[in-house]
């Protein structure tokens, strides 16, 4: 199938990307500076930070070139050189290296660099679900190369998001229910949702972007044999039989399956994964078990990546970035208070 993509060829995005080394296998923009969120005006969007992720085949070479072109983007870690920066990128946190609060062409941007191999691994197996989770939601694809393995992983990630969400939803639900569940996958267990993020963030993302979610997931829902999708009514019905749930559990990414088995299988028993998932499929609390497995992945990656972000951004930028997040959280809380 063809991956639905929200392409944007505006001068702004092309001008920003032209500032970077061009050996990029995938580039996308995301977040509140790119997509309208509930409660945000067009004027506020224009002032919000623009978020980018750049996937590169050779991080050492890419950082070498970027340090020559954009040395000021980096924190004190620039003095360690491109090889050490690449090691920090790959070996700590979620495999992504962020430079934040960077002024480019009159806008403030944040950009994360991840190796193409690490991105594919996260998309397929949800080892950290850090970038994979961002790609569950609408993004603007700016560059996409001819890497067939990456393309297949992008589609597989969307299918996995649908499967995991089916397991956590009732037998009948609306399109909006599904999109809320999908958008919330990467926030389940994220400690920043307790302090640092607007707690109504998921609903704000979905409410203004239902059509973008439809574009992203329509083909997958139409082709999925385990759901009855009625797009004109905005309704879905999913197979909640033990057999149906077992098929869905077996289709989940490997890391999530492993987290589920750890939750269910007592230490020392060492049962086969298939046997454990068959047990979970028959459990009335199957959805809750899947939710706990998701939360354990997101919690660990959000903590380690945030700790790494303090080093990659530098202390002053980290404080500034955290202050802005807390202000948004406070604003969201005040809007909900009668």
In whole angstroms, give the CA distance from residue 293 to residue 263: 7
Give the residues across from 236 on adjacent strands: 173, 229
The string of pLDDT tens digits covering residues 188-241 is: 865 555 444 455 889 989 999 999 999 999 999 999 999 999 999 999 999 999
Instruction: Please say whether the beta carbons of 245 and 286 come within 8 A.
Output: yes
Please determine, for residue 307, whether its predicted confidence score (pLDDT) is greater than 80.
no
Report the pLDDT value the prediction gives residue 337, as an integer from 0 to 100.
47
Report the pLDDT value the prediction gives residue 324, as an integer from 0 to 100.
54
What is the value of pTM for the model shown?
A: 0.87
pLDDT mean across residues, the chain: 86
The torsion angles phi and psi of 108, rounded to 5 degrees, stand at -100, 130
Instruction: Please say whether the beta carbons of 51 and 109 come within 8 A.
Output: yes
CA dihedral sign of residues 174, 179, 182, 184: negative
Mean pLDDT, residues 113-123 taken together:
97
Instruction: Please say whether the beta carbons of 141 and 28 come within 8 A.
Output: yes
- Candidates 119, 117, 113; CA nearest to 135 is 119
Who wins on pLDDT, 264 or 324? Answer: 264
In whole angstroms, give the CA distance from residue 313 to residue 303: 15
Cα-only R_g, the chain: 20
Please determine, for residue 117, whether its predicted confidence score (pLDDT) is greater than 50.
yes
In whole angstroms, give the CA distance from residue 121 to residue 105: 33
Mean pLDDT, residues 13-17 taken together:
92
């Amino acid at each position: 199938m063809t991956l639905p993509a929200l392409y944007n060829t505006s001068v702004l995005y092309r001008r920003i990307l032209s500032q970077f080394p061009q050996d990029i296998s995938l580039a996308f923009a995301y977040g509140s500076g790119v997509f309208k969120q509930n409660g945000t005006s067009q004027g506020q969007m224009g002032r919000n930070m623009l978020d980018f992720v750049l996937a590169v085949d050779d991080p050492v070479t890419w950082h070498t070139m970027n340090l020559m072109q954009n040395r000021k983007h980096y924190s004190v870690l620039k003095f360690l050189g491109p090889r050490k920066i690449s090691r920090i990128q790959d070996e700590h946190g979620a495999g992504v290296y962020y430079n934040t609060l960077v002024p480019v062409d009159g806008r403030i941007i944040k950009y994360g660099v991840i190796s193409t191999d690490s991105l594919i691994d996260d998309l397929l197996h949800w080892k950290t679900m850090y970038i994979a989770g961002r790609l569950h939601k609408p993004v603007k694809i700016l560059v996409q190369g001819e890497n067939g393995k990456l393309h297949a992983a992008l589609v597989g990630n969307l299918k996995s998001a649908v499967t995991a969400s089916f397991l956590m939803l009732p037998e009948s639900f609306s399109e909006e229910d599904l999109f809320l569940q999908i958008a919330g996958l990467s926030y389940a267990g994220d400690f920043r949702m307790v302090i640092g993020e607007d707690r109504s963030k998921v609903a704000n993302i979905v409410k203004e972007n239902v059509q973008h979610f439809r574009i992203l997931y329509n083909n997958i829902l139409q082709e999925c044999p385990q759901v009855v999708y009625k797009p004109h009514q905005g309704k879905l019905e999913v197979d909640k039989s033990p057999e149906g749930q077992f098929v869905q559990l077996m289709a989940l990414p490997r890391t999530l399956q492993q987290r589920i088995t750890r939750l269910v299988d007592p230490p020392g028993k060492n049962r086969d994964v298939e046997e454990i998932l068959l047990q979970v499929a028959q459990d009335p609390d199957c959805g809750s078990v899947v939710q706990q497995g998701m939360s354990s992945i997101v919690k660990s990656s959000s903590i380690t990546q945030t700790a790494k972000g303090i080093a990659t951004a530098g202390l002053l930028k980290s404080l500034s970035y955290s202050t802005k997040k807390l202000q948004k959280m406070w604003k969201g809380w005040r809007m909900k208070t009668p």
